[in-house]
Every structure is written in structure tokens, then in C-alpha cells.
Amino acid sequence: MSAKPLLRTSLIILSLGLGLCLAQAWGRPADSAPLRVIGFPYPPFMLVDERSKPAGPMVELVAEAFRRMGQPVRIELLPLPRALLQVETGEAGALFSVKKTPEREAKYLFSSEPVLFQHYVIFVASESTLAFRGDLNELAMASIGVVGGTSYGAIFDAAARQGVFKKLEMSSSHEANFRKLLAHRMDAVVCSRAVGVEILRQLQATRRVKISGPAIETTRSFVMFNKAVATPQLVSRFDQAVREMRREGMQGVHSKLRKYD
């Protein structure tokens, strides 16, 4: 073999190796294929707009973070059970926004930076005498609506595991729970305050439901990544992008989230 073909072959191998190293360093494939990122309908934070496109301040925040990373993404909103399944199987690379639990942390990568803070409260019918004063044992015999696959924060989740609640009623969505509450088919609904208020507004039922007592807990939610699809380097870069956005003074999409605090 002459020197020129040998040199050409060596350069090709070197270029391929360099491309692979850069891809690994940046935590994404060399061809920068879009990462499929899944959310779920969760108004006012995530919703489908009039054009059937994902919208809301959480969608904007996640999209902006990935844009700053230079990582192309395809964001979709699916029902939560389906979204959880797709990130589990690797059909989706990431899911936003969910809470950390020991079971999830054993299986997935999580962003270190929280992307959403929520106050979880108890909703009851306006005429209800059910009173929550901060002790979850007060709700032991109440029928309480929850959504399957959802974490309500460490305090509520621990009480549920310990069997404090005798009548937890599982539904497929928060809206379904509020419809049951309005139809007097359950005593209470546990939900993020902002989400519950928005759902009741959409149902034109804000005067028919009230919040009972203080917040159970203020929780933090994160982006959850499938380990087989996303690398620790990519997650680290996502955290860096979110930190940069916060250092800019909570402007833009962060300011839209703050009004729900």
C-alpha cells in the first residue's frame, strides 16, 4: 500500500475516533439525533394548546434548557401511565417532571436541579365538614382520590405505605378525581394546589370545592432519564443549563412558574 492511501485511511480513523470522543464528552450521539422527552397533561404547568402542541411554563423551561445544551429534543405530552411506561422501556429518553423516590432512583438517572416546586393540599367539597389540620391521621377514614403512579411527596407517600389511609381511591387523572369529588363519590382529593385550582377553573367549579387546612408538604420535581438512552454527562449538562437560567434572575420561563408558588 502506498503512503497516500495509508495516510488517508489513518485520517479517516482519526476523524471517526475524534467524533466519538466528542460525542461521549458532550453526552449525546455523534449525529445529534433528537432526544424524545415526555411530559404529561398537568395544567397549568403542562398542557396541549389549541394547535395540539405541548405548551405551558414547564414545557418552555425544559425546552430552553435543552436548547442551551445544543441538544435537539422532541417534546410530547402523554397520559402519565403511558409516559412512565415509555421512559421505562426506553421509547423516551426522559420524563418531566417527577419526584424522586428510592424505587425510581434505583432505576433511573435524575437531574440534580429541581425544575418545579409544588404545594400539596387536601381539597374537599365546599359544604364538607372534613377538617385537615396538619395530621394525616385525621384523614384515615376518608375516601381520598389519588392518581396511579404519582408521588405526593415523602410525607404523604410514607403515610400511604404505612396504611394510614383506609380508603385511597385510584384514578387515571387528577381531573377524574375532581369530577368524583364534585359528584360526592369521594370525600377528598390530594393534589398540587396550583393544579387543583386550574382543573376546578376549567370545570367551572371553583366555588364548589375548598382547600382544607395547611399544605401537607412543599415538594420538588425533577427530570428523570432512562439510563440506557441518556448519559450522566448529558444529565450534568442539563443541570448546568438550569443553574444558568436561575443565575439570570429567574427571568423568562422561571418567572412564569414563580406565580404558582
What integer pLDDT is reported at residue 258 of this predicted model? Answer: 52
**Residue 96 pLDDT exceeds 80:** yes
Could you give the percent of the chain with pLDDT greater than 70? 83
**Residue 18 pLDDT exceeds 60:** no
Distance CA 91, CA 98 (A): 17
Task: Summarize the confidence of residues 226-246 as an average pLDDT.
Answer: 96
**Residue 205 pLDDT exceeds 70:** yes
Q: Which helix (H) or strand (E) holds 43?
A: none
| Identity at 68, one-letter amino acid code | R
Task: Summarize the confidence of residues 233-252 as an average pLDDT.
Answer: 86
**Cβ atoms of 148 and 172 closer than 8 Å:** yes
Quickly tell me which residue has 367539597 as its cell: 125
What integer pLDDT is reported at residue 54 of this predicted model? Answer: 96
Residues 6+ apart with CB under 8 A from 39: 46, 54, 58, 59, 62, 75, 76, 77, 78, 83, 95, 96, 97
Task: Summarize the confidence of residues 202-220 as an average pLDDT.
Answer: 97
